[in-house]
Amino acid sequence: MNPSTLVISHPDCTKHETGPNHPESAARLAALLSSVHAAIPELEGRVAYRDGRHAGEADLGLVHPHSHIARVRAFAQQAATAGGLAHIDPDTVVSPASYEAALGAAGSVLTAVDALTDGSARNAFCIVRPPGHHATADRAMGFCLFNNVAIGVRYAQEKGLQRALIIDWDVHHGNGTEAIFYENADVYFISMHQSPHYPGTGHSAHRGHGPGQATNLNLPVPPGLPATHYKNELQRGLAQALTTFSPDVIFISSGFDSAYGDPLAGLTLAPEDFHYLTEHVLEIADVHCEGRVISVLEGGYDTELLVDCGLAHIRALARLPVC
Ligand SMILES: [Zn+2]
């Protein structure tokens, strides 16, 4: 029997360096991956690990113009020439291996799409970095170089999964994903985020435009919002989306920086809350799209919390109790 859940990563993802004291470190990914590998034997055969592939330039081109792809590659070459790091902006750092890491991150999402469409898994969690949801089509920002989820959505559309629901529960607004799909009727984007907070976008009045009118739903919430309220609000938003939109696949921009104790934010979710929300997403996926869910790691900057939340998320994807 196939495992229900694939965990996917690429070895290059840990080669992206951001320098000392940068919150988005290779150590966070290494810790989560090693905990996942240790946990897989206890997950009743329901979870398997698979290496992702590199995205090709044509795959990146589903979302990003050639000029942006070339610019990211040039920054990585500049870092190699300098023997260190190059800064795209004060937050967004590139090292010599960052371009390959970004290809591995986006490519892992493509591998997830392949696995769901060839029937070798029901859902997948891509443990990748650099993250993606702040990257617009032509701009890297907020630690993000290419928009991994957006590339995955466009690739899924090429494979016949036309209508995608994207749920972004990272604590920061997914401004890049919003911008990419703002006028697109086939992609419904829901972002739940702390407000006010970086990057300053995500107003609830921004509902999409043109053919994409009413397919963008921002749910800004204040710091300190109790987890129960957070869960209710997200479930309400999902119910609202599903009155007009039936997805063929669901993507999650899964940032765990909305957990209580994350050093970059002030929300209050516990690992059990991510388990609960994941179960809720699977219920929706069962009704609308044969269980197809592709979750992609975004933020989460306390390593221990990231591990606990990530494992709870995987247990829910595998339809196992929280522990
Ligand atoms: Zn974030």
- pLDDT tens across 92-120, in order? 999 999 999 999 999 999 999 999 999 99
267: left (phi over 0), alpha (psi -120 to 50) or beta: beta
Instruction: Output the six-digit token pair for 190.
Output: 């829901």
- Distance from C-alpha of 241 to C-alpha of 112, rounded to nearest angstrom: 24
Residue in 257, 119, 199 with CA at minimum distance from that of residue 218: 199
176 CA to middle of ligand 1, Å? 12
In this prediction the pTM is: 0.98
Q: What pLDDT does residue 55 have?
A: 98
pLDDT tier at 323 (50, 70, 90 boundaries)?
confident
CA within 13 Å, CB half, 257: 25
- Residue 134, in any domain of the structure: yes
- Distance from C-alpha of 111 to C-alpha of 208, rounded to nearest angstrom: 29
- Residue 105, in any domain of the structure: yes
Reported as a single tens digit per residue, the pLDDT across 175-199 is 999 999 999 999 999 999 999 999 9
3-state SS, 60-110, equals HCCCCCHHHHHHHHHHHHHHHHHCCCEECCCCCEECCCHHHHHHHHHHHHH
Q: SS3 of 17, please?
A: coil
Contact between residue 38 and residue 314 where contact means Cβ atoms under 8 Å apart: no
- Residues around ion ligand 1, judged by CB within 5 A, are 170, 172, 255, 257, 299
300 CA to middle of ligand 1, Å? 7
From the candidates 68, 134, 172, 173, give the one annotated as an active-site residue.
134
Q: Is residue 16 annotated as part of the catalytic site, yes or no?
A: no
Residue 38 pLDDT > 80, yes or no?
yes
- Distance from C-alpha of 293 to C-alpha of 166, rounded to nearest angstrom: 10
Identify the CATH number of the domain in which residue 153 sits. 3.40.800.20
The domain total for the chain is 1
Average pLDDT value for residue range 44-62: 97
194 CA to middle of ligand 1, Å? 10
- Residue 37, in any domain of the structure: yes
Domain span at residue 34 reads: 5-317
Residue 217 pLDDT > 60, yes or no?
yes
Instruction: Name 60's Cβ contacts closer than 8 Å, sequence gap at least 6.
Output: 69, 103, 106, 146, 151
Q: What pLDDT does residue 1 have?
A: 56
Average pLDDT value for residue range 63-85: 97
Instruction: Name 241's Cβ contacts closer than 8 Å, sequence gap at least 6.
Output: 165, 188, 190, 217
148 CA to middle of ligand 1, Å? 14
